[in-house]
């Protein structure tokens, strides 16, 4: 991609219409995950070649497996009342970085869940879109001004969910999906993974006071493509690039949370490489 064919959107420069476009685009690639009637976390629908799956935090996957439902989990893929179940036996988890209580904040904490049921995949694709991961897209991050870019957090904050009952006594779980902008703090690399910390408001306006439930959700950077190679005329529509997976939160100053996430290197190198290797083993077997 030529250097001037796109422009990254800095803090405070994304107008309302563009902000809404970015939020809708992130939501189109995202789902929340439920066990029984309990919200567990969030995930991004991604494709690597012809392999489709969920990119999420490893601890979210572990909690799903230990949830009340022993043979399946649920994804929220639509705005209307529904229950979309996916059987555990028809997905293949590929752990990229093992979660442990011993290194909750330090990480790693990342898993790709390969979805193997064609019928279920067809239903998901009729309502959502799988975000294509490829190495060439990852090279865009060599040109991203991290400290000046808007980092858009997507997820399902637990405090915004609620439980009720139908007239028949059936339980209902209402989950609210959230997207909001954060600010880059810093980035480090450890053990072949990269880790990014971003600051985001909490408890003000429409921002949740806690980001529990957002774990596993995607972090996105919005940008605009140019209509010409020199970058003289930017297109009006806002595009987004998947830039991270949230897995931990801390509070370092009032009315803000620090979100810790796996960054671009973890996604576009570690995830892609591990999935390709695993797919090769499965095909050989």
State pLDDT tens for residues 134-157.
988 888 888 888 888 899 999 999
Q: Which residues of 142-174 are buried (b: 16+ CB within 10 A; e: fewer)?
A: eebebeebbbbbbbbbbebbeeeeeeeeeeebe
Cα→Cα distances 224→21, 228, 237, 239, Å: 11, 12, 7, 6
50 or 79, higher pLDDT? 50
- Identify the pLDDT of residue 99: 97
What is the tally of structural domains in the chain?
1
Where are the extended beta strands (E) located within the chain? 6-8, 30-35, 38-48, 51-56, 72-76, 84-87, 91-97, 110-115, 131-132, 150-155, 162-165, 171-174, 178-190, 193-201, 218-225, 239-253, 256-262
The span from the CA of 234 to the CA of 195, in Å, is 31
Q: Using the predicted structure, report yes or no on whether residue 109 has a pLDDT greater than 80.
A: yes
32 or 8, higher pLDDT? 32
Q: Do you find a cis peptide bond into 115, omega within 30 degrees of 0?
A: no
Residue 41 banded pLDDT, cuts 50, 70, 90: very high
- Identify the pLDDT of residue 251: 92
The span from the CA of 188 to the CA of 234, in Å, is 32
Sign of CA dihedral 237, 211, 245, 194: positive
- Identify the pLDDT of residue 236: 67
Q: Using the predicted structure, report yes or no on whether residue 285 has a pLDDT greater than 60.
A: no
Residue 264 banded pLDDT, cuts 50, 70, 90: very high
- Identify the pLDDT of residue 14: 55
Structural domain containing residue 253: 3-284
How many other C-beta atoms lie within 10 A of the C-beta of residue 252?
Answer: 10
Q: Using the predicted structure, report yes or no on whether residue 100 has a pLDDT greater than 80.
A: yes
Mean pLDDT (the chain) is 89
């Amino acid at each position: 991609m030529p250097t001037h064919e796109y422009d990254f959107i800095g803090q405070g420069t994304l107008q309302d219409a563009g902000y809404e476009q970015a939020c809708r685009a992130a939501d189109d690639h995202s789902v929340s995950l439920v066990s029984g009637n309990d919200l567990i976390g969030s995930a991004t629908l991604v494709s690597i070649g012809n392999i489709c799956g969920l990119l999420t935090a490893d601890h979210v996957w572990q909690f799903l497996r230990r949830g009340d439902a022993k043979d399946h989990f649920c994804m929220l893929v639509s705005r209307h009342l529904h229950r979309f179940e996916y059987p555990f036996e028809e997905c293949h988890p590929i752990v990229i970085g093992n979660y442990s209580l011993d290194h909750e904040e330090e990480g790693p904490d990342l898993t790709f869940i390969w979805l193997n049921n064609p019928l279920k995949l067809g239903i998901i694709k009729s309502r959502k879109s799988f975000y294509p991961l490829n190495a060439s897209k990852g090279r865009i991050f060599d040109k991203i001004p991290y400290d000046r870019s808007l980092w858009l957090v997507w997820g399902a904050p637990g405090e915004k969910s609620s439980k009720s009952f139908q007239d028949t006594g059936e339980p209902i779980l209402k989950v609210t999906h959230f997207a909001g902008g954060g600010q880059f703090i810093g980035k480090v690399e450890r053990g072949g993974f990269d880790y990014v910390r971003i600051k985001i408001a909490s408890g003000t306006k429409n921002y949740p006071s806690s980001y529990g439930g957002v774990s596993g959700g995607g972090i996105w950077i919005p940008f605009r493509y140019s209509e010409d190679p020199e970058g003289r005329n930017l297109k009006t529509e806002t595009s987004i690039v998947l830039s991270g997976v949230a897995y931990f939160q801390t509070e370092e100053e009032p009315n803000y949370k620090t979100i810790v996430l796996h960054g671009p290197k973890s996604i576009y190198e570690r995830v892609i490489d591990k999935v390709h290797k695993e797919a090769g083993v499965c095909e050989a077997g």
